[in-house]
Amino acid sequence: MRAVKYGAAMARGVARTLTALTRSPIAWLQAGVLAVLAWGWVHGSADHAATAGPRAPIGARAAGEVSRPLAADSAQPAAPRTVQSTFAVKVGRDDTLERIFRRLRLSLGDLATLRALPGLKEDLDRLRPGEALTFITDNGVLLGLTRRLNLEHTLKVVRGDSGFHANVVAIPLEMRTRTVSGHIDSSLFEAVNAAGADDQTALALADIFAWDIDFLKDIQPGDAFAVTYQQVYESGKYVQDGPVLAARFVNQGHEYLAVRYVAPDGRADYYTPEGRSLRKAFLRAPLAFTRVSSPFSLHRRHPILNLIRAHKGVDYAAPIGTPVHAAGDGRVVFAGRKGGYGNLVEIQHSGGIMTVYGHLSRFARGTRVGERVEQNQVIAYVGMTGLATGPHLHFEFRVNGVYKDPQTVKLPEAVPIEARLRAEFLAQTSPLVVSLFPPIGPALVAR
């Protein structure tokens, strides 16, 4: 209202000025200026009054007013955007979880916290080359970690409000029993694959009969096999071949039978149907190898020294990193570097027997002087340290200090089934033996 009064007063001034226009040209100019000012004041003030309404206190927001972003020079920092991602990392040959955390730029403090959780350190430290770890992160912060510990269990780690929580989840599996058979034309692997089983089953057959059959030298076309084994399924999908339950192998006319027996203490092993152990006290060859690169010989020319020098062991060619197993139960008496042997392990067994493993790339966890080892336990890995022209294992077998040819030495027998377990053994294994000799179906009748 005050602005309207001011406008009216200015209008009256304009009128007075117009009466004097005939008296002076300057009066015309004054009248025009006053008219413009009056019009602008009235209309501007009226518009403001119509739209603004009562003036609000400083800092207050009128009802129904929509807030707008602040100007760029007064913007507040926005909350960090969530970028959650799930990805798998394949474990390399020399990888540790610490190296993987560093590559992913994850907090080593979080890793230390995980390793401090009860029972989690061992599950995190013993990574297997080729396995996959699944990570869940958010803006570089670890939210979860999943690792398949074995066929039946998965480790799951999740970050919660109170820190990390770990849980081992059982994987429901279905075991299906199957029997296949075949004849060998060129190799055991090809014959087993042709019958419908995996390489894992072929390797199991070779291991079961390894004390009686040399699968590198003794196999001939026409040899036959039958094997009853388990297949592992997860959620209805085939995963892999499981353990062999029974096996029959005919080599050069000689028949060999094996059945798997699980003792009351949970330990499984293979026996003849009569209960004699198929195991000898020692492995004939303590690794999976491609060929014998140098046999036992007392008159071999050394490939590096170019001298006639006795080769008091057998060299098994194999890729670097191939696991080396203890040939028998015993105690480690040396694990370290020794001259031309390079990295070396010596194991003392009962009966005055010592086995020696040379040119190793590295030692397995727990391979230390004084430690007891069991037959088939991994003690080291193939390498080419010391005087070696290529990756291989040098394996020696000594009896009371005398070097013996590991390929021909007579190996002691293992312990048979105990008398108190014999009835249970026969009840458990007799059906398995029958599965290796399926009945012949009825003859087809011509119509």
Quickly list DSSP for 122-158: HHHH---TT-EEEEEEETTEEEEEEEE-SSSEEEEEE
Average pLDDT over residues 392-420: 90
Q: Name, in order, each residue with C-beta under 8 angstroms of 194's C-beta and a sequence gap of 6 or more.
A: 182
Rg of the chain, C-alpha, whole Å: 43
Q: Summarize pLDDT for 66-95 with one digit per residue, the tens.
A: 333 434 444 555 555 667 899 999 999 889
Average pLDDT over residues 365-391: 93
148: helix, strand or coil: strand
Residue 33's φ and ψ, nearest 5 degrees, are -65, -45
Range scoring the smallest mean pLDDT among 86-90, 116-120, 411-415 = 411-415
Q: Name, in order, each residue with C-beta under 8 angstroms of 162's C-beta and a sequence gap of 6 or more.
A: none
Taking 90 as the threshold, does the pLDDT of residue 61 lie above it?
no
Taking 50 as the threshold, does the pLDDT of residue 343 lie above it?
yes
Q: Which of 139, 138, 172, 173 minimizes the C-alpha distance to 158?
A: 138
Q: Would you tell me how many other CB atoms lie within 10 Å of the CB of residue 1?
A: 7
Q: Measure Cα distances from 74 to 59, 61, 62, 155 in Å.
A: 16, 19, 22, 48
How much is the pLDDT for 311?
80
How much is the pLDDT for 122?
82
Range scoring the smallest mean pLDDT among 193-197, 366-370, 434-438 = 434-438
Q: Is 198 exposed, middle or buried (0-12, 13-18, 19+ CB in 10 A)?
A: middle
Q: Which residue has the tokens 């390797």?
A: 203
How much is the pLDDT for 444?
36
How much is the pLDDT for 215?
80
How much is the pLDDT for 284?
83
Average pLDDT over residues 19-45: 47
How much is the pLDDT for 135?
96
How much is the pLDDT for 377?
94
The helix (run of H) or strand (run of E) holding residue 206 is: helix 199-208
Higher pLDDT, 93 or 31: 93
Average pLDDT over residues 8-13: 53
pTM: 0.57
Q: Using CA atoms, how far apart are residues 101 and 319, in angstroms rounded to an integer?
A: 29
Q: Name, in order, each residue with C-beta under 8 angstroms of 17's C-beta and a sequence gap of 6 or more.
A: 27, 30, 31, 34
How much is the pLDDT for 65?
38
342: helix, strand or coil: coil
Average pLDDT over residues 283-290: 83
Summary mean pLDDT of the chain: 81
Higher pLDDT, 268 or 39: 268
Higher pLDDT, 356 or 140: 356
How much is the pLDDT for 317?
92
